[in-house]
Structure 1
């Protein structure tokens, strides 16, 4: 499997690395890309979209061996607002604890919470089943936003921790990311972080770091379809935020050049 000399990988190029009709192994593509970085003695900068701390656990453990990573928390799909704030705080705490235990310097930046803009994109698919067309629009919306910021801040790659979830279709996420990169001057990072025990390791790390694991993706429509008690979620999230609202995470805040 030859990645070539260009840092920008195209879908057709990746598809050609595998037998006709064979499912693309994006984890293997990432491994080959990492080997290329090592051969070139380079440590790229990655802006990694993360929806929550659990998805970032093993993802950061793996990537920080080879790259400098900044977590970009941009999740206007999360409802209610206090649950969004709780997951943000948990993400910041995990990065702080991860850095302290590993000696890494992962940084963090949070986008403005704008659920109305997200709703404009997906409202016509509010009744679509989980994992279907609405989710694809949601993936694409957030990948586009992280790519835009990665270009603005001059990162080498943008990517997403979403592929660690067994409930998310890595084939779709990667295809969307490879398409989005054409809109910006930044490369997409192919991945399937759940592979090679990645998801299992993420569960272990959540226990090790005492990380809150949510019971739904965050989307209002998915929560309703799954019968999630959003009133209870809001009460618990509100109590958590009140308890931690003065926590200081300035030491992990990303400073754009």
Structure 2
């Protein structure tokens, strides 16, 4: 069976993509999300993913939590307005690098599941990364199954976060609006 490195943002977002991708691929999960803050949030998401990956009996690679580099790079004023794009770039680039390192030809991401992501921009970035690393990006639009995944994650009593992970997103959700 073909091997797929699947970038995972969190366990709840893995449910639907895993159910589909596992029909065609032998999957290894890759958790690389230096955007997730604070550290307590990062640890909670990782803990939930570790538990869920064990129930799925699927390997999990944990990337470096390079939060200092993330903040340094996203804090530039010219980059701040496009911080989501930058965030996709660093996560997809690291996924491509890791896929090459572990000898996989295919990669994808659970970010395709969320209706709250900038889907078209994410896909363009992932396709660019695929060309750079001579890989194949596997695209599937899971947004129409978002509610299904939410309900299943609740049935499984998974930790469910209320923002994408970056501190700026949390502020926008709970404290006000930032200028983009």
Q: TM-score, normalised by structure 2?
A: 0.90
State the shift of 1:127 in Å: 5.5
Partner of 2:24: 66
Contact 2:32 2:63 in 1 (8 A): yes
Aligned to 1:139: 88
Bigger mean CA deviation after superposition, 115-124 or 80-89: 115-124
RMSD between aligned residues: 1.5
Which residue pairs with 1:52 in the alignment? 10
- Indicate whether 1:219 and 2:177 are aligned: no
> What is aligned with 1:205?
152
Q: TM-score, normalised by structure 1?
A: 0.64
* CA displacement at 1:227 relative to structure 2: 2.1
Please identify which structure carries the higher strand content: 2
Deviation at 1:185, TM superposition (A): 2.7
Pick which of 198-207 and 157-166 moved more: 198-207
Residues 56-205 of structure 1 mapped to structure 2, 5 A cutoff:
56-97=14-55, 99=56, 105-125=57-77, 128=81, 133-195=82-144, 198-205=145-152
Matched with 1:247 is: none
Would you say how many aligned residue pairs link Structure 1 and Structure 2?
174
Give the whole-Å Cα distance in 1 for the aligned partners of 2:158 and 2:69. 29
CA contact (8 A) 1:94 1:209 kept: no
Report deviation, 1:53.
Answer: 0.6
Does the aligned pair in 2 maintain the 1:159–1:189 contact within 8 Å?
yes
Deviations 1:141-193 (A, max 9, x none): 10000000001111121111001011012211111111111221321111212
CA deviation map 1:7-49 (0-9, x unaligned): xxxxxxxxxxxxxxxxxxxxxxxxxxxxxxxxxxxx3111011
Shift of 1:208: 2.4
Q: Secondary structure at the match of 2:33?
A: coil
SS at 1:174 equivalent: helix
**Matches for 1:9-28 after TM superposition, within 5 Å:** none
For structure 2, which runs of at least 5 residues remain unmatched after alignment? Answer: 176-180
Preserved contact between residue 174 and residue 191 of structure 1 (Cα < 8 Å): no
